[in-house]
Chain A
Amino acid sequence: MSTKRLAPPEFEECYQRYATGVLAFLRVRVGCDADADDCLGRIFEKLWTQGADVEPAARGAWLFVVARREAALHWRTKNRADEVLRSLAARTDDRTIQTTNDNGLDNEESAVELRLAMNHLTSEQRDILRRRFLDNTCFREIAEQLDIPLGTALSRVHAALKQLRKILRDD
């Protein structure tokens, strides 16, 4: 897969929006502020070099998935505090540690499963997801377009994501 650099304005927007949250996430995971800062640097370096391949709607999600992996790798490479590592590993899904693909589904099988799972969603749920991911329309605008409250739009997305997770977990 070809990788493209993220445009500077988009990078800056992502940094301003998520850097504090990702750093807070890393600090409690890594346990050391300096190491968390190092991890944060690597994560945003990845965003800079690979971010253009990530859907704009999913860049925040991508940052936290990458941050979780970076935290796990940090512990693995340092190979210290086995007890903390074990507790973290228990919290962290094995799939996250072993995966090598930052941009979503690990293999074609998972993609097929998710596509099938999407058939279980209502047309209203699929419509909102399509508008958000394909048209890159924000939820506030989607709510205006559909003439529904913002909370309702978010509830539909939440219900859709929850259902997808449930179906995939049951499989």
Chain B
Amino acid sequence: MMNSNPDDEMLIAYLFGEADQTDRQSIENWLGRDPAHGERLCQWAETIGDLATIYRAEQPSQPTFKRSDAHALVRRYRFVAITSFSLAASVLAIALFPRIAIENEDSRIALAWVDVRASDTDTQSPQLDWDGSMTESFASTTAEVDEVMEEMEGDKSTSEPISDEPPEWMLMAMSLMIPTDEAFDIDEVTP
């Protein structure tokens, strides 16, 4: 549409960015001829701008969550997060550690008892290395058992005598600790 003096519809289309190439050139030439032409265009531009402001206010804003928002959130709640984590870890530790200690102690007593029983009946001499010295592992195990036995002896003097027969819970624990293929009959162990 070639027009040296564009109509209002054409100007409106131009301001909305919808004028074709020919109309656009026509309007550009027309604008350069007289300041009044530009003023006429600006009056439409103002009304369009005002309407855009009104419609913009009606548009619902869509919440967006960006990486920077996440970082800000982490920074904001870092102290709370660290404190909460520390508290949770402490509670967990208090709840778990006594049990672990008890379990370790029970296992140690049970093993010591087995070794003691074995040393009573076993005729096997301490294992010797090729140079005649006692095997280190054997020696350390023996020393450890002796230490436990001493403790048990000490307990015996202060408390009631230890029964020759192991308690039921200890035998159960032992059967759980020994692999299936090496399982033994409880009756064999029990004197």
Contacts and interface: CB of A to CB of B under 8 A. Distances in A.
Interface residues of B, number: 41
Nearest to B29: A24
Contacts of A17: 17, 24
A115 B51 CA distance: 9
SS class, residues of chain B in contact with chain A: helix
B32 A28 contact: yes
6 contacts: A28-B38, A61-B46, A65-B45, A139-B18, A161-B48, A161-B51
Nearest to A18: B17
Interface of B: 8-9, 12-18, 24, 27-29, 31-39, 41-59
B57 A111 contact: yes
B45 to A, nearest CB: 4
Interface string A153-171: 0110110011011000000
A164 B48 CA distance: 10
SS class, residues of chain A in contact with chain B: helix
Given A21-B14, A24-B31, A91-B36, A161 B47 contact: yes
A50 interface: no
B34 A110 contact: no
A46 interface: no
A58 B18 CA distance: 11
Contacts of B17: 14, 17-18, 57, 59-60
Given A21-B27, A154-B9, A158-B9, A60 B16 contact: yes
A24 B32 contact: yes
Nearest to B39: A91
